[in-house]
Chains A and B, each alone.
Chain A
Amino acid sequence: MTATLLQVIAGGLLLGALYALFASGLTLIWGMMNVVNFAHGDFVMLAMYTSFVVWKTLGLGPAASVPIAALVLATVGIVAYFALVRHVMRAPMIAQILATFGLALFLRYGVFWYFGANFLSLPDNLVGGTYDIWGIRLPAARLLAGAVALLVTAGLHLLLTRTMLGSRMLAVAEDEAAAQLMGIRPHRMQAVAWGLAAGAAGIAGALISTFFYISPTVGETLAIVAFVTVSLGGFGSVPGALVAGLLIGVIESLSAYWIGAVYKDIVTYSLFVAVLWLRPQGLMGKA
């Protein structure tokens, strides 16, 4: 394998870790209450603007913007749950779709109104430099974003599987009535899930903003990737989102390198359709 090919694969893995991070938020919400959050991409978008504001007003980079965006978005997620989602959870699917889609439009046009339609970006040197590892050259911004994304996704998985809070959340996900018999308040756990999912989207957005353009509609593009990742990995599975995210990142990078950047989406979606056809429950979902 040539060094260039390795570099393409490494770049794909780093991007894939970010896909995994924001897809794991989407999959968590689905797993907890069978709600598809159409505003998830716009959560990422809002985090990118948060990161921009942090740089503009405080002059600070990801060390500040990542925790700030995580907190801001976690708050947005919890407020969205109590103000909106809780009321449509038992409503027909179409009401849920309209509610979260409405939230997406609200966020998108709120940002559009306040910041305008111009593409914004953070200075290239905010996370400066390029690392050279065994002849593979990787920009520091992407390396940082990929590494943090991987850690946070793993952390989310550990939180769900190794802590009492995670155990209670999974209990609500599996059987809400039985969870109530344990003294667990389902609404609280669901609010926590929205806080975690939106917080994860917040971290992803702040990281992506260090090397990607920022616009009110950027969430749309990212949401599509997240939906493909979640369906591929299996709805409700964080490890599935991780594997699928990394896979999609690498496939995108490789097809951009071999066939051309314009065609990479076609390759990704063809693969997506093929997997759904052969394994509708996703790679790691339960049948």
Chain B
Amino acid sequence: MLSVRNLEVRYGDLIGVADVSLEVPQGGMVALLGSNGAGKTTTLNAIAGLIPASSGRIDFEGEPIAGRPAYAIVRKGLALSPEGWRLFTQQSVESNLRLGATPLADKSRLPDLLAHVYEIFPRLAERRRQRAGTMSGGERQMLAVGRALMSDPRLLMLDEPSLGLAPAIVESMYETFGRLHKAGLTILLAEQSVELALEFADHAYVLQVGRSVLSGPAAELADNAEVQRVYMGLG
């Protein structure tokens, strides 16, 4: 469904990612692992069209999307919940969700999608009139995911959905992702919490200083001695 080949992204003279390749099959839940600065955000942002790739290929459903603007890519069914949430803090929760529905070709679907997101995150329904900037971290994370879901994507990318959240909230957030995945949504998620991501994902890639160095089924990686030593603090 999504295929990234030999992606390189530069920030001026600095290199964001040097050589990343990955595949996300239809219906998969793929994790992009790596420590801080490994290049996870850069990879997701390049796929979403927020930053240009300096070389490499990005194909979504067989179509090259590298170099397309972000607003065109989300219209193809590829949504990103970005690092740091990037909510419209001055606007209400519901306005944020409605903005997320901008890419819909058929606007009459908006009420159903809104009801669907409120069903997934009842907390957002309670806070619908509240300004996004006044919410707690967990609620902001819900809103960022809900907003991305409003475009009814076929592939959802999540950038570190556990960052800065209490463990209990993270756990329930991941259970929600698991349910969305079971309901048929394809997910690509970047995570530093390797153990957690490997528990939910079915396939994973490990990034190290801008390169994809290791990949495999999540269960295999979880048993990999190297992964255990470097990322899980075991062994």
Residues of B within 8 A of A167 (CB): 91, 95, 98-99
The reply to whether B98 and A180 form a contact with Cβ atoms under 8 Å apart is no
Q: How many residues on A have C-beta within 8 angstroms of the other chain's C-beta atoms?
A: 16
Which residues of chain B are near A171, meaning CB under 8 Å?
A: 88, 91, 99
Q: How does the 8 Å CB contact mask read for A263-274 relative to B, with 1 for contact and 0 for none?
A: 000000000000
Residues of B in contact, count (CB < 8 Å): 26
Contacts of A179 in B (CB 8 A): 99
CB of B50 closer than 8 Å to a CB of A: yes
A259 interfacial contact with B, CB 8 Å: no
**Distance between Cα atoms of A171 and B87 in the complex (Å):** 9
Knowing A181-B74, A182-B102, A184-B99 touch, does A170 contact B69 (C-beta < 8 A)?
no
Q: Is the CB of A170 within 8 A of B70?
A: no
Report B89-121 CB contacts with A as 1/0, cut-off 8 Å. 111000100111011000000000000000000
Minimal Cβ-Cβ distance residue in A for B150 = A182
Instruction: Report the minimum CB–CB distance from B194 to chain A (whole Å).
Output: 26
Residue of A nearest to B85 (CB): A178
Q: Are B102 and A184 in contact (CB under 8 A)?
A: yes
- Cβ-neighbour of A182 out of B49, B50, B69, B100 (below 8 A): B100
Q: Are A180 and B49 closer than 8 Å at their CB atoms? A: yes
Contacts of A168 in B (CB 8 A): 99, 102
* Option from B71, B86, B98 in Cβ contact (under 8 Å) with A185: B71
- Name the segment of B8-16, B22-30, B75-83, B197-205 touching the other chain: B75-83
Q: Which residues of A contact B88 (CB under 8 A)?
A: 170-171, 174-175, 178
A91 within 8 A of B: no
On whether the beta carbons of A183 and B151 are closer than 8 Å, the reply is: yes
Q: Tally inter-chain residue pairs, CB-CB below 8 A.
A: 63
Instruction: Find the A residue at minimum CB distance from B75.
Output: A183
Nearest opposing residue in chain B for A185, CB measure: B71
User: B103: which A residues are within 8 A, CB to CB?
Assistant: 182-183
Contact with A along B114-135 (1 / 0, CB 8 A): 0000000000000000000000
When C-beta atoms are compared, the residue in chain B nearest to A183 turns out to be: B103
- A221 vs B7: C-alpha distance in the bound complex, in angstroms? 55
Q: Are A170 and B80 in contact (CB under 8 A)?
A: no
Given contacts A181-B82, A182-B99, A182-B102, contact A170 B75 (CB under 8 A): no
Contacts of B75 in A (CB 8 A): 183
Question: What distance in Å separates the Cβ of A58 from its nearest Cβ neighbour in chain B?
Answer: 40
Does B206 lie at the interface of the complex (its beta carbon under 8 Å from any beta carbon of A)?
A: no
8 Å CB interface, A155-202 against B = 164, 167-168, 170-171, 174-175, 177-185
Asked whether, in the complex, the Cβ of A174 is within 8 Å of the Cβ of B99, the reply is no
Chain A, Cβ-Cβ closest to B51: A177
Binding site for B on A (CB under 8 A): 164, 167-168, 170-171, 174-175, 177-185
Interface residues of B (CB under 8 A from A): 48-50, 69-71, 74-75, 79-80, 82, 86-91, 95, 98-100, 102-103, 147-148, 151
